[in-house]
Chains A and B, each alone.
Chain A
Amino acid sequence: MKYVDEFRNRTLARKLLAEIRRTVTRPWVIMEVCGGQTHSIVKYGIDQLLPPEVELVHGPGCPVCVTALESIDRAHSLARRPGVIFCSFGDMLRVPGSDGDLFRIKAQGGDVRVVYSPLDCLKVARANPAKQVVFFAIGFETTAPANAMSVWQARAEGLANYSILVSHVTVPPAMTAILESPGNRVRAFLGAGHVCAVMGWEEYEPLAARYRVPIVVTGFEPADLLEGILMAVRQLESGRSVVENQYGRAVLREGNPDARRMIARVFEPCDRAWRGIGVIPGSGYQLREEFAAFDAARVFDLAGIISHEPEACISGLVLQGARRPLDCPAFGTSCTPETPLGATMVSAEGACAAYYNYGRRR
């Protein structure tokens, strides 16, 4: 596959590793924010191949993991209602709420459907005028343009039975929260390549300057990740802290202006609760007032839903990079992909699941 295979080349990877080894002189902690990068790192065994001085810490870049429990419970409440067709990306099906998951709700008769794109939900809505179609709009900025367009298009067509349950999260406030937290050990970031393909990297420049952390916008294939790590290490070793772009083939400084315009047109920033972390101010998107008719939180009565987290789950700490999956007493014992206590074990992108599935047991 073009633009994929070339970046999975073994020789390039081995030599990048050699160069990293030669460049590094002392320990550095680097965080990759994006769950897709975590997945790739663990799948290819990259972190095991890195020299011990380079410690990769996994950030809260898995929108599945960080979706607030309250949002999940609201989603489940909607999915249980007769007359509702609840559509979601496959990722969310097994995430545990306070009582069950979408898979279980489907087994009990809920009309839950997996979709690849929010546009597919519009098709479902058109085909089922007597039902309410709700789409679980989770994700980082990468998915916001798609969700925005689905609402825009629904309005243009006068669709009266489509709404989205919004739980978008944004990256820069999360990175800020991590940098601000006491005891933060992260010295550099691998920026989320596809988030930046949409948003660009302008908004990361103030972060790099204020906190003096290198931020390298990085892709997802092994060669991308290794090159991103190399670029971060080079900056760290030479005391530089700027934003650099490893993922030049897909990312421009201004991102995709059309997409950014549409996001701003349909959504506005809001405070958002991150599962296991708490509220990060300004870290979410919500639908603007004029699109209230498409906001499932306003269309449906969602009051009276009580949410509770299991105590043993330290997903939050894992998400902040403060703990590794292996530090958790429940990891691999009471918490496994089969019996997850928290979202980091359920989502394929979650650090705990990645560790477990790719064999990092004790």
Chain B
Amino acid sequence: MCLAIPGKVAELYEAGGVSMARVDFGGIAREACMVYLPDARPGEYVLVHAGFAITRLDEEEARRTLADLEALAELAPEE
């Protein structure tokens, strides 16, 4: 469960007193509520679930994970 997909914060705005953003998901854009990530800035990546940004995506961490996996690949024998 919990389909949440990564998107890039394009533009922050307020609607009815609520903090919102236009988020770009690889070519399509949708509004998302930003109340749970008050410090998010345009250009940052966030995970959006049910119309709400629930967490930031950490570029460094993503890189590290991929690097770990790549490194692993070097140790494991090719099939």
Contact = CB atoms under 8 A, between A and B. Distances in A.
B2 A143 contact: yes
Interface in A230-283: 246, 248-252, 255-256, 258-259, 262
Contact of B72 (A19, A64, A249): A19
Contacts of B55: 197-198, 250-252, 255-256
Given A1-B25, A15-B69, 12 more contacts: A12-B69, A12-B73, A15-B72, A19-B76, A117-B50, A119-B52, A143-B50, A145-B54, A146-B49, A149-B33, A197-B54, A255-B55
A145 B79 CA distance: 45
A248 B64 contact: yes
A153 interface: yes
A1 to B, nearest CB: 4
A18 B76 CA distance: 7
Contacts of B6: 1-4
A349 B1 contact: yes
Contacts of B72: 15-16, 19
22 contacts: A1-B25, A4-B6, A11-B73, A18-B79, A34-B2, A35-B1, A36-B2, A62-B1, A64-B1, A117-B50, A117-B51, A120-B51, A139-B2, A140-B1, A142-B49, A143-B49, A146-B33, A192-B2, A194-B4, A248-B62, A249-B62, A250-B58
Interface string A308-347: 0000000000000000000000000000000000000000
Contacts of A16: 69, 72
A142 B36 contact: no
Interface in B7-43: 8, 16-18, 25-26, 33, 35-38
A227 B76 CA distance: 14
Contacts of A19: 72, 75-76
A14 interface: yes
A140 B4 CA distance: 13
Contacts of A180: none
A153 B52 CA distance: 14
| Majority secondary structure, B binding face | mixed
A194 B54 contact: yes
Interface string A132-152: 000000011011011001000
Contacts of A36: 1-3
A249 B60 CA distance: 8
**Which of B1, B33, B73, B77: most chain A CB closer than 10 A?**
B1
A11 B69 CA distance: 10
B79 to A, nearest CB: 6
A63 B75 CA distance: 39
Contact of A153 (B3, B18, B38, B76): B18
Given A34-B2, A194-B49, A249-B61, A14 B79 contact: yes
A197 B68 CA distance: 21
A198 to B, nearest CB: 6
A123 to B, nearest CB: 10
